[in-house]
Chain A
Amino acid sequence: MSDAVQNKSTRDAFGEALTLLGKSNPNIVVLTADLAESTRVLEFEKEFPDRFFQVGVAEQNMAGIAAGIAVNGRIPFMTSFSAFSPYGNWLQIRTLIAYSNANVKIVSTHSGLSAGKDGATHQALEDITLMRVLPNMVIISPADYNETKNAVKAAVEHKGPVYIRLTRDATPVFTNHKKPFEIGKSPILKKGKDITIACTGPILAEVFSAAEKMEPEISCEVINFSTIKPMDKDTLLDSAKKTGKVITVEEHQIAGGLGSAVCEILAENMQVPVFRIGINDSFGESGSYSDLLEKNQLNAKHIKIKVTDFLKNHAGN
């Protein structure tokens, strides 16, 4: 990554993409549970007031209304923070959206540690787990601003439930905005031969930076798992076959998240050492996003140390 890299948030990308898509697609409607500004849907409201539903602080009602609106061909985007939706309305999502295969897009911001100073109650570190076990559900966790814009477009084109996991803070923009988002395809961002690093979300920027620092001694293959479900098994297995070692990195509990998903696929297909980097069975706390990454050992510096240690421990494997 060059030094001139720009920082922008994935929630900003969402708001901009949604307003743009709303112009060409009259079926798109938006629901908010009293978080229109924070989730960046205010512009959509201004532009299309008739297609905007303010339901108040009532995430369960929001999920039910979204499912009902979807029946006649509308494409509802129900928006909130991850810590409230799907946390507060999982039953409604399971019954009325996943089981009913409703064409509802659940978009939640402030996921991972990005709720920062609001503390552990607002930091969604379990949402991938909650959504990954639901049949019919697609889970998208974009790496940056550019990818989010394309992912929102792909979600509109996909018929069926989609959960998009977004974050609050401005993070590096590094993916190619010209590359269309393909649900279920995980692009290899950097080719390598010594180790596979599977990552999801904006924390990919930290992984990328760590990988660059390890060159040329350690050659990392970095895969962007921006779709967590359905999982791109082929890309994972091909890479693991080549490198023989896999590390996963996520801003999420290692139980049930990307790390678990990767382990499930690998365990059924090949014997390969795996190490999961993420939140290890603990809650967060208040602090700036960068302080939280440092304390949870999730920034480039710590990722580099963990990858190096892992390789040392498995030398000769």
Chain B
Amino acid sequence: MPQVKRYCDNVKILDLQRTAAKLREEVIEMLLQAQSGHSAGSLGTADIFAALYFEIMNIDPKNPDDPNRDRFILSNGHICPIWYATLSHRGYFPKTELKKLRKIDSRLQGHPHIQMLPGIENTSGPLGIGLSFAIGISSAALLDQASYRVYCMTSDGELNEGQIWEAAMYAPKQRLNNLTWIIDRNNIQIDGTTEQILPLEPLRDKLESFNWYVIEIDGHNIEEIVNACNMAKAVTQRPTVIIAHTIPGKGVNFMQYKFSWHGLAPNKEQAKAALKQLRSMESRIESEYY
């Protein structure tokens, strides 16, 4: 196993946890405004988004087209509310625009489009296609002898798609060690749990047998997320996949673990209850408005 410096800046970790909590609040507010959208995955990946955009990736929101920037590709486009929330909080575009999610004439499409918003690096929606796209960017980086890294998030349900396994075979062949694939392993998909619908386990064994360097983490533990991404930088000759175990709907007790919240947005009462819980995570008092 490659040795890397452990990440143990407690102040920074606390800060990232707060950022993730803020992003979760933002997601609830966006979904309420839009009255549609995907709650579970958006809440479940907030810690990963906070870690990537506020700590791990080499990016500059003021120069979103910087050729040397690290790239993040979101294959499971339906969780874009958390991507949009993260990008706006990181300074890519005004936060006021978040309330336009899924509305007419908006840059915040229901599923992301590459040319619509600064910071959005790919188009996605149909599942299973983003990893191939990320491989294309990784390949271009090698051709250009560029040093940026490519991060690609997929869901676990989308591993049902055959194209994922085409891509999973190809990246190790090309020794794309600049590529880090993050699987949001939350065990749910639209119609039920992943193991009921189309079993993925033993997932780690599958990925290892495809010759990926596999790391398994708690996807809500900031330190583990940062460590895993740093460890991936030290892997040579092959790509890394991080299986990030997450809780769908994390932070809102009536959403957590429930596959029914995959594609559901909260109504007014539910949003109020969700925000109360999320805000209490920072020991705040119940808010009058949301």
Contacts and interface: CB of A to CB of B under 8 A. Distances in A.
* Chain A interface size, under 10 / 10 to 19 / 20 to 34 / 35 or more: 20 to 34
Interface stretch (B25-33, B124-132, B191-199, B215-223): B124-132
Interface string B189-216: 0000000000000000000000000000
A72 B138 CA distance: 11
A96 B113 contact: no
Given A29-B143, A95-B124, A60 B137 contact: no
Contact of A64 (B143, B167, B169): B167
B119 to A, nearest CB: 14
A74 B139 CA distance: 11
Contacts of A67: 132-133, 136
A23 to B, nearest CB: 17
Interface in B112-147: 113-115, 121-126, 128-140, 143-144
Interface residues of B, number: 31
Interface string A43-59: 00000001101011010
Interface in B134-169: 134-140, 143-144, 162-163, 166-167, 169
A308 interface: no
Contacts of A72: 67, 137, 140, 144
A146 to B, nearest CB: 32
A35 interface: no
A143 interface: no
Contact of B137 (A56, A68, A95): A68
Contacts of A115: none
A283 interface: no
A92 B140 contact: no
Between B126, B166, B167, the greatest number of chain A beta carbons within 10 A of the residue's beta carbon is seen for: B166
B132 A51 contact: no
Contact of A61 (B124, B140, B170): B170
A50 B163 CA distance: 24
B131 A64 contact: yes
Nearest to A33: B166
Interface string A22-49: 0000000100000000000000000000
23 contacts: A51-B143, A53-B139, A56-B169, A58-B170, A60-B132, A61-B132, A64-B129, A64-B163, A65-B135, A65-B136, A67-B133, A68-B122, A68-B134, A68-B138, A69-B137, A69-B139, A71-B114, A71-B140, A95-B125, A99-B113, A100-B113, A100-B115, A100-B123
Given A69-B137, A95-B129, 13 more contacts: A58-B163, A64-B129, A64-B135, A64-B163, A65-B135, A68-B133, A68-B136, A68-B138, A69-B139, A72-B67, A74-B143, A91-B129, A96-B133
